[in-house]
Amino acid sequence: MADQYDVVIIGAGPGGYNAAIRAGQLGLKAVIVEKRSSKKLGGTCLNVGCIPSKALLHASELYEAAGKDFDKLGIGVGKLTLDLAQMLKQKDDAVEGLTKGVEFLMKKNKVDVVLGAGEIVAPGRVRVGERELQTKHIIIATGSDVTPLPGVDIDEERIVSSTGALSFASVPKHLVVIGGGVIGLELGSVWRRLGAEVTVVEFLDRILPGMDGEVSKQFQRILKKQGVNFKLSSKVTGAETLKTKVKLSVEPAAGGETEAIDCDAVLVCIGRRPHTEGLGLEKVGVKMDKRGIIETDRFKTSVDGIWAIGDCIHGPMLAHKAEDDGVACIELIAGKAGHVNYDAVPGVVYTYPEIASVGKTEEELKEAGVNYKVGKFPFAANSRAKTNHETDGFVKILADAETDRVLGCHIIGREAGELIAEAVLAIEFGGASEDIARTSHAHPTRSEAVRQAAMGVEGWTMQA
């Protein structure tokens, strides 16, 4: 007889495992299915995404600071050395610890785990190898995969995706990053700090498309100062792997003369696409758009009893968004009022300095014809940032000109990813810039720059 469940969740990433935990909490009999060959739970995020990349960003930032900044503070570290194998090991240890943590959470919340590839054979029926799971509800939480670039075949050794770029056995002399988005700038930063020459080839005329234009411009200047080379409005049309190097053909995006670039390694990161192959979606009639994104209405797919969340549906491909989708989806299944406010999902780029953003950009407000005010404050005028010699960047707050409601916040600066939380909360609570401006902020902290930017919306900044 087949196993009987209330909900079968396919995919154990942040979307799937948070849905599973919430299901357990609400007393639903749940099972999570995961096909990763390492048998580890946690999905892209814990295994080959957020966690290992942040482990390397942290370690490489300290390495660079030790070599370049410590002496200014009167700290001598002698001759700087890099033990790359150890740096990679501490990254793997972080992954191991957190993926074990997810296993523990499944046990604690009485969620069954089935290892193997799940296929939907019919609504209410999921096959995993020889086994069949019968259920009232199926949640597709299968995440996303690397978008391939024709003519540049990934071998995960010299031409790598983000996964290969988390484990280079030695520091490449020259790394070409194709795509000036989040992955390219984060992992490009890691290998530049460890000694690689890094060239970013970006199709558009700017990096980080989708981010506020002023942020993207200033950030590119900062990265250039750090030594990153940029080739904007350019496309890679082919790659030839030779004995000791890779030869890339690069053209202007609008077409024109081809240029050859020689390098030791290439990172392809031109975006990610939904991971839905082998799930049987076409057979059961689950509708997807042209890009393979599963179409949903409050997580319901076009087939009754089949739901989808996270990277494989519309919205930003972010772990915390997948997590919120998972919780809300289970709550809806359980008859509760599950809800996600997609206007208040922050995005963070974990470079140095960090970039953090929530809500609308200036470009979006202009395009929508919204009448808005801007408050801006530079870290060069923030006492904590000055004291710590970390003055790159600014805080920018966008508020509705009539109601003062906070519509967006964009930050470049050390720990911007932590600072953004109060702007997220302001947007979630429908707060005004004056609410932030009149809230006490500890001194001396970088968070005072957020308050000063909010004061700037009404023109009463005190410290700049």
Q: Which CB atom, from 44 or from 135, has the smaller least distance to ligand NAD?
A: 44
Q: Does 416 bind ligand NAD (CB under 6 A)?
A: no
Asked if 232 and 207 count as a contact pair (C-beta separation under 8 A), the reply is yes
Residue 360's binding partner, choosing from ligand NAD, ligand FAD, none, with beta-carbon cut-off 5 to 8 A by kind?
Answer: none
Question: Of 215, 212, 261, which Cα lies nearest the Cα of 234?
Answer: 261
Interacting residue with ligand NAD among 7, 102, 149, 329 (CB under 6 A): 149
Residue 398's binding partner, choosing from ligand FAD, ligand NAD, none, with beta-carbon cut-off 5 to 8 A by kind?
Answer: none
* Catalytic pick among 58, 389, 410, 443: 443
d(CA 198, CA 221): 15
d(CA 451, CA 440): 8
Collapsing DSSP to helix, strand or coil, 140 comes out as strand
What's the closest the beta carbon of residue 132 comes to ligand FAD, in angstroms? 14
Q: Which CB atom, from 203 or from 230, has the smaller least distance to ligand NAD?
A: 203
DSSP-assigned letters across all residues of 221-262: HHHHHHT-EEE-SEEEEEEEE-SS-EEEEEEETT----EEEE
What's the closest the beta carbon of residue 42 comes to ligand FAD, in angstroms? 7
Residues 6+ apart with CB under 8 A from 368: 360
Residue 117's binding partner, choosing from ligand NAD, ligand FAD, none, with beta-carbon cut-off 5 to 8 A by kind?
Answer: ligand FAD
β pairing state of 3-10 and 272-274: unpaired
φ, ψ of residue 266 to 5 degrees: the values are: -130, 130
What's the closest the beta carbon of residue 49 comes to ligand FAD, in angstroms? 3
> Which residue is closest to ligand FAD by CB?
143
Q: Which of residues 282-301 bind ligand NAD (CB under 6 A)?
A: none
Site string for ligand NAD, 314-343 (x = CB under 6 A): --xxx-------------------------
Question: Of 65, 17, 68, which Cα lies nearest the Cα of 43?
Answer: 17
Q: Which CB atom, from 141 or from 250, has the smaller least distance to ligand FAD?
A: 141
Spell out where 11-167 has E strands. Answer: 30-34, 112-115, 118-122, 125-128, 131-140, 144-146, 159-160
Q: Taking contact as CB under 6 A, which single stretch among the options 283-291, 346-354, 401-409, 437-445 is the one that binds ligand NAD?
A: 346-354
What's the closest the beta carbon of residue 209 comes to ligand FAD, in angstroms? 17
φ, ψ of residue 183 to 5 degrees: the values are: -65, -45
What's the closest the beta carbon of residue 266 comes to ligand NAD, in angstroms? 11
Q: Which CB atom, from 41 or from 269, has the smaller least distance to ligand NAD?
A: 269
What's the closest the beta carbon of residue 26 comes to ligand FAD, in angstroms? 19
Interacting residue with ligand NAD among 128, 159, 286, 348 (CB under 6 A): 348
b/e code 89-117 from CB counts within 10 Å (16+ = b): eebeebbeebbeebbebbeebebbbbbee
Q: Does 353 bind ligand NAD (CB under 6 A)?
A: no
What's the closest the beta carbon of residue 454 comes to ligand FAD, in angstroms? 25
Q: Does 181 bind ligand NAD (CB under 6 A)?
A: yes
> Which residue is closest to ligand NAD by CB?
181
Residues near ligand FAD (CB under 6 A) are 10-16, 33-36, 43-45, 49-50, 53, 117-118, 141-144, 162, 183, 275, 278-279, 310-311, 317-320, 322, 350
Q: Which of residues 226-245 bind ligand NAD (CB under 6 A)?
A: 235-236
d(CA 118, CA 10): 6
Residue 181's binding partner, choosing from ligand NAD, ligand FAD, none, with beta-carbon cut-off 5 to 8 A by kind?
Answer: ligand NAD
d(CA 404, CA 292): 39
Q: Which CB atom, from 114 or from 223, has the smaller least distance to ligand NAD?
A: 223
Three-point CA angle 256, 261, 267, nearest 5°:
105
What's the closest the beta carbon of residue 384 comes to ligand FAD, in angstroms? 24
d(CA 109, CA 153): 42
Q: Is 210 left (phi over 0), alpha (psi -120 to 50) or beta?
A: left
Structure tokens at 52: 């290992």
Q: Which DSSP helix (H) or strand (E) runs through 85?
A: helix 84-108
Residue 320's binding partner, choosing from ligand NAD, ligand FAD, none, with beta-carbon cut-off 5 to 8 A by kind?
Answer: ligand FAD
Q: Is the peptide bond before 353 cis (omega within 30 degrees of 0)?
A: yes
Residue 91's binding partner, choosing from ligand FAD, ligand NAD, none, with beta-carbon cut-off 5 to 8 A by kind?
Answer: none
Task: Quote helix, strand, coil % in the chain, to nearest 5.
Answer: 35, 25, 40
Q: Taking contact as CB under 6 A, which single stretch among the options 68-76, 133-141, 311-319, 331-339 is the one that binds ligand NAD?
A: 311-319
Site string for ligand NAD, 261-280 (x = CB under 6 A): --------xxxx--------
320 is catalytic: no
What's the closest the beta carbon of residue 185 comes to ligand NAD, in angstroms? 8
d(CA 85, CA 120): 41
Asked if 186 and 351 count as a contact pair (C-beta separation under 8 A), the reply is yes
Can you give the binding site for ligand NAD, defined by CB under 6 A?
149, 178-184, 186, 201-204, 209, 235-236, 269-272, 316-318, 347-350
Q: Point out the residues that are catalytic.
A: 443
